[in-house]
Structures are given as structure tokens and as C-alpha cells.
Chain A
């Protein structure tokens, strides 16, 4: 009898905080194979007061993921609840380990929340406005949800492929300074692939540095370096949601799975605080309005009418040490010596910056021909919305 009531008390105290609406996730939608499905089953059994079954599910979980610390903590609770009443999650871990227990609790919450709220097929992250044909995949990170989403480029439309639990900076997101233990928010891409052999065990099965700080970060005076996607040490399945010095950390098996989709120099990695989702219709119209504006810019440049061309540049424009006026004046001089210009743009990619600063990173190959000069270059522009109109705030080679 006594033990029975211990268990009940355990249910109440420890799980109130972790319980979710009974409407369970649609399992058929699953594409990844992390510990979440097993973990959810453990919690389902606990909610049903089926302790023996919960312990068995936990053992199954630990057999599959022997270094999964959260699983061990739950096992500890389930066993200890048989000998004494527990009042809180991970109570038997002792007072000295409070911080670690709080971390594991956060991890449990993050994993279960993500499990119960998978992205739907008719919503896409707002940031993925346009992928180039050769960008096979895109990565979008949500630091608040401790989740990384992998999208596939399906003829220009991003299709959800898989999502993974991640850890980010100990002190959160919005990196500003070197050593601030924060993860940057912005549009980046994978710049290299460092194999396991070249790294210490700490980084697990590999690392993928990303392009922080980007042009915009530098312009805003942000610094620091060495922001990587990487794995976990061999004795650790996963780390708490906020654990790194700014890197995005995945379980080794997840990093391995993800690495198959990463193209060095190409795959975008967009890190957000809290992903904004758009319906496919809204996404399509936002995408079209910007593509139209880019085409207008191209045609206005071809027209040799420098005033019309100049209208596309923001008053806040700055690039190569030139402000808006200097940039347009320079172009006016160049245009004066030409009888015609032909410009083709191709392989356009467009990624909206997550977070407060509203701008879109546009990258494309520009084929420039004119009466006296021709060249082909890879160009990058930052477009912002000013008084309801898209304008260029930075332009340079990429």
C-alpha cells in the first residue's frame, strides 16, 4: 500500500511539468530515428501509472542509447520511486546535482515538445525563400526549441526531411562578441568539413564550420569565430539544450545522418531564435515579390537610366567603403561610357534573415556584358524592406 501511494505522488509531482496534451503526435510523420519516440512511450506509461511498463520502456531506450543521460535519470526515478516517495524530477540525484538535473529536465521538455509538434507539409520556414538548383538541402535551426530542421530542395520548394535535437550556446543566441558563449542568429553556409580524425573526442564524429561572421555581422560590429556544427564526446549521447560556447551540437548519429546532406560552400545554415513559418501560399507570394524586384533592378541597370537604377539602393547602403550617393555617382560615370548593357542573372538563392533585422540575402551568378566590358561573377546582395519596398543595402562579390 505504502509503495503504491509513493508512486502516485511521484506521478503528480514529477510529471505535471512534463505532461502534454493527450493528442499524441502522428507517428507516421516520423522521418528521424532519435530517442524521442521511445522517450514519449516512457512518459505515456508513467502518465498511465504503469510503472513496470515504464521501466521496461526505459530499459529499451537505454539499450538503444546507452549514453543517453536523460534516460538514466528517468530510470533512477522509476527505481527510487519504489523505495520512497519522490517529489520532483530527478530528486534522487541529490542536491549537489541540481543544475545538471535542471538541464536534463530542459532536454526532456525540448525533446517531447518537438516530438509532439512536427512541422506540417504545408508550412515552410519563412527564411528559405529560394534555393539554387544545386543546393540540394537547407538547414534551419530553432534555438528556443533546441531543434534543427533539414529541408530538401524539391524543384525550388523546400520539403521537410528530418529534424534533430540540438544544443546551442550556454548563454543563448544572438552572438555579438568573441567568447560571449552565444550562438549567432543569421544566414550562413557550411564552409568546411573537418573529419573525426582531425579533432579531439570532444567534437564527436565530425565538424562543419559555418560562415559566421557574415558581411552583415561584420557591418554590425559582431565578432568571434569558430562557430561549428559538431557532434558529441564518445561518452555522451547528447548535451543539454544550452551547453556550447556558441556551436550547434548534435548527437553523433544525427550529425552523421545530416552530414550526408551537407555540401561544403553551398548548404545554407540558417539559425533562428524561433522559426517563423509561412503557408506555402504566403511563401510563394513573398518569394515572387522579391524575385520581381530583383528582375526590375536588372532591367533598370540595363536601361542605362542611372536614376531608375539608383532607386533600388537604400539610403543606408554601404559597401566597399562607398555610401549610397558614392555608389550611384560611380555607376553614373561608368554608364556614361557605354552604349549598351546586357545582364543575365542565374542560380539565384534568397534567404531571409531570421530575427529582428529584416533583410534577405540574395546570391546569384551575374553575367554582365556591355559595349566595352564583360565579366561573370558571383554576387551577393542584402535587400531590406523600406517603406514597403525592397531595396539593396549591401552589394559585393560572393
Chain B
């Protein structure tokens, strides 16, 4: 009885087959104790107990499965992954370790890996309902990522978001009594041996047209992109703290500073003050054609010192500041005796010792 309450249906199957293989009373007792500790949130003790148990039975599937659950509850996903991965190697016929592996991967936003693990679970047990449900969520999540990339949108679509949190629940439910959250797919525990319920599921939805492809060729095309996930499951103080940072005002001041620097730079240029003009450039200024700094400076000096008045001004100046980097975009009007041009300019400045200096100067919009 207790095991079925501690773990959703997926572990129920596991318990049954593992129990048959070993002497019943001893393991039942100590593993029940571990489960109880886990349920009460006494993770350290649970881990200690399960390790003790496993020292006598290092191969035991049920014990190792429990240890994996404890580790993921303790927020040690990488350790949990090791435990579940080893289980999939030693017991490839069991779908549950694959499923739990997938849930952890999903929490880490490693959806491709999660997908592969779930597909393995389904390959061994085509009617494994939980894996099908989870896989559906993973597909939706992967689809949403793909749409984000296609359409350059930041927020993921809402349905994928909520489904993902279901997966999260899946994991946390595993340590709590079943039935606490009815209606969630994870709580299939209630379905007990679950045969009829599973039969109602669409069988083999994954690869209908392609029974030929046994291998997984897509191996981690996109490993672990930590995309802009919004952390729905952590209502901690983080957002509030971030929101209180008054980021805007200094940026506004900085923008004004940058505008002044641009004015000063163009004024020096117009006055043919070569020294003043060059003093606006940072030491690591990227010369336009990759020439040496000295070469570029002498070329500039030559140009600016050409006889005749020059006038350089700007129009439509827009400044954006990001920390110690600023981008100034404007239309530059240049007038000399021989040439009158208007050019769209983008100037990138950096703040060094409180001074804004030009690091890059480009033509463009």
C-alpha cells in the first residue's frame, strides 16, 4: 500500500517487479522507512537510510529509484540524473527511470533530452500513459521554442507554459501522498494497476508512419539552451528585488552625457581641433578598416587639416545606454568646400573612468 501512495503509478509497476526478485520482508521494511522519511521531507535521513540499504544491495532497482527521487527532491538534479541514467542502463526494460529522467531534463529546460528519454520509455512500454502525457507536453514546449525562434518573440505561448508546470508538479507530487492534487496527470496513482485507464489512451501516438527508425538520429541538436524561461514555479522574492533596482534614471543621465560627448566630438572636428577630436576615441577604438591606430590617426589628421572650413553636425540623435556601453545613432551632416554629405551614423561608446569614449564608428541605420 504505502509505495503506491508515495509514488505515482509509474513507480508502482517498478515496485511490483523489483519486489518479486528479492526477499520481501527486509527490503519492504527498510524501503518503507525511506519512503516515510521522504514523504515527511526528512531528505537527509532518507538518503542516509537508502544508502545504508543500498550498501547491502547495490543493484536493487527499487532502492536506487527511491534514491533518485530523494536526490531530485533535495534539488540535486545532476546526482538524480546519474542515478536514473544508471538505472536505465541496468534495467532498460523499465520505463519509469526514463520518465523521471525526462522530468528532470524538462526542469532543466533540456527538452531534446527529455524527449529522447520519454521516447525510450514509450519504446519499452508503448502503453505507458504518463510518458505519453509528458511527451505531449515536451512536444508542445519544443514547438513553442521553435515558434519563438521563428517569430522572434520572447514569451512562450501560454498553453505550453501551463503544461510545463504540470510536469513540475509531477516531480513534487512524487514525495507527497497521492490524491492531494486530483485531476493532474501525475496522480495516476489513483488508477492503481491502471490497465483499463491506460488502454483508453491513444496507443502509439508518436511514430505512426515510421516503425522503421529505431535509432535516435537527432541527438541533441540543441543541447541545453537556457532560454528565457520565466521561472513560474518559484514565487520567491527575486522579481521584486529586480524591480526595485532603479535602473532607468542613471541611464537617462548617461544618455545626456553621451549626447554632450557627441556634440563635443563634432565641434572639435568642425573647429579642426585634431587633438580634441582624437581625444574622443577610446584606446581600443576599432579602426574602420583594421588599420593601426597610428596610421588611422595620421590619416584623420591629414583629412581634417585639409584647407578650407568644415562643418559637421548631427540630426535626429538617439542614444541608448546599456551599463557602460552606449549607442548613439544620428544623421551626420558634413560640409566642406568640396563635399556636402549626409550619412547615417552609429557610434558605440564605452565609459572609462567616468568618461564616454568612442569605441566604434559605423555607417548604417
Binding site for B on A (CB under 8 A): 1-4, 7, 49-53, 55-56, 59, 62-63, 69-73, 75-80, 82-83, 90, 92-94, 96-97, 100-101, 104, 194-195, 197-200, 202-203
Contact = CB atoms under 8 A, between A and B. Distances in A.
Contacts, number: 122
Interface of B: 136-137, 139-140, 142-147, 149-153, 157, 202-203, 205-210, 213, 217-218, 221, 286, 288-290, 346, 362-365
B210 A51 contact: yes
B205 A4 contact: yes
Among all A-B residue pairs, the 10 with the closest Cβ atoms: A200-B364, A3-B205, A76-B146, A73-B150, A79-B143, A72-B150, A80-B143, A52-B210, A72-B149, A75-B146
B363 A194 contact: yes
Nearest to A62: B221
Contacts of B137: 83
B151 A52 contact: no
A29 B346 CA distance: 43
B205 A52 contact: no
Contact of B217 (A56, A194, A198): A56
A286 B346 CA distance: 48
Contacts of B209: 49-53
Contacts of A97: 147, 151, 153
Contact of A73 (B146, B286, B364): B146
Nearest to A73: B150
B346 A2 contact: no
B20 to A, nearest CB: 34
Secondary structure call for the B interface: loop
18 contacts: A3-B202, A3-B205, A7-B208, A52-B210, A53-B213, A72-B146, A72-B147, A77-B143, A82-B205, A83-B137, A92-B147, A100-B151, A104-B150, A194-B363, A197-B286, A197-B290, A198-B288, A199-B363
A52 B213 contact: yes
Contacts of A73: 146-147, 150-151
B328 to A, nearest CB: 12
Given A70-B150, A79-B140, A199 B157 contact: no
A3 B364 contact: no
Contacts of A198: 288-289, 362-363
Contact of A93 (B151, B202, B210, B221): B151
B224 to A, nearest CB: 15
Nearest to B142: A79
Given A7-B208, A82-B136, A200-B365, A69 B346 contact: no
Given A70-B150, A75-B150, A82-B139, 18 more contacts: A51-B208, A52-B210, A53-B210, A56-B218, A59-B221, A69-B151, A71-B150, A72-B147, A72-B150, A73-B151, A76-B143, A76-B147, A83-B143, A93-B151, A94-B153, A197-B288, A199-B363, A200-B364
Contacts of B286: 197
Nearest to A101: B151
Nearest to B136: A83
A2 B147 CA distance: 24
Nearest to A77: B143
A70 B205 CA distance: 26
Contacts of A59: 217-218, 221
